[in-house]
Amino acid sequence: MRTPFTVVAYWSWAVLLAVWLPGYLTVKKTSHAPSLGLQIPTSVLLLVCFVLLFNPRGFGLQAQLTPQTEIFGWIGVAIDLLGIAFAIWARIVLGRNWSGLIMGVKEGHELVQKGPYAIVRHPIYTGFLLAIFGTALTLGTLASYVGFAAGAAALVIRIGLEESLMREQFGDSHDAYRLRTKKLIPFVW
């Protein structure tokens, strides 16, 4: 099950985690957030996503949907690394406005529109989806693809919540930003 490609994919997530953790200590204070009741489903779906990605043979979902060949390995790792790099870039550009697991508007929140935010409105999620898909491709199991589906569902729900928060906070500025950029996939959606 462990191939050089899956090892690289897993280590890329460790790098992302190493970048993410210090951010929890430096973010601005939250001034407004959706209720936890709205946020819990996305957290549960993300937990399911990562449990299945990091336990791809568990829960009776070990059927191999894509083979663990070099071509799938290289493609999967490339997609994974691209996604991790894009998410890290977005996280760094977002700076202290970042919310982490529990989303919200920060005190003195800025509507960031530069760097990856000039490409899509939710580049961290774009990066996550790419990385999750790339990891699933390197693993190739039903569990990994179910994990990808759970992660995608969680991020789509979070996008809706965050769009509402940003529209409420920034009004016309956010409307103009929405007209210039796509949500998640450049030139598409």
Task: State residue 146's pLDDT score.
Answer: 97
Task: State residue 163's pLDDT score.
Answer: 95
Q: Among 13, 157, 178, 165, which residue's Cα sits nearest to residue 87?
A: 13
Q: What is the pLDDT of residues 107-119, one digit of tens each?
A: 999 999 999 999 9
Q: Among 125, 128, 141, which residue's Cα sits nearest to residue 80?
A: 128
Query: What is the count of structural domains for the chain?
Result: 1
Kindly state whether residue 9 falls inside one of the protein's structural domains: no
Q: Cβ(76)–Cβ(122) under 8 Å?
A: no
| Gyration radius (Cα) of the chain, Å | 17
More confident residue, 68 or 83: 83
Q: Among 19, 1, 2, 4, which residue's Cα sits nearest to residue 128?
A: 19
Domain that residue 85 falls in:
43-98+109-189
Kindly state whether residue 12 falls inside one of the protein's structural domains: no
Task: State residue 2's pLDDT score.
Answer: 83
Q: What is the pLDDT of residues 60-69, one digit of tens each?
A: 999 999 998 9
Please state whether the predicted TM-score (pTM) of the whole model is above 0.75: yes
| Residue 1 scores a pLDDT above 70 | no
What CATH number does the domain containing 118 carry? Answer: 1.20.120.1630
Q: What is the pLDDT of residues 124-147, one digit of tens each?
A: 999 999 999 999 999 999 999 999
End-to-end CA separation in angstroms for the chain = 35
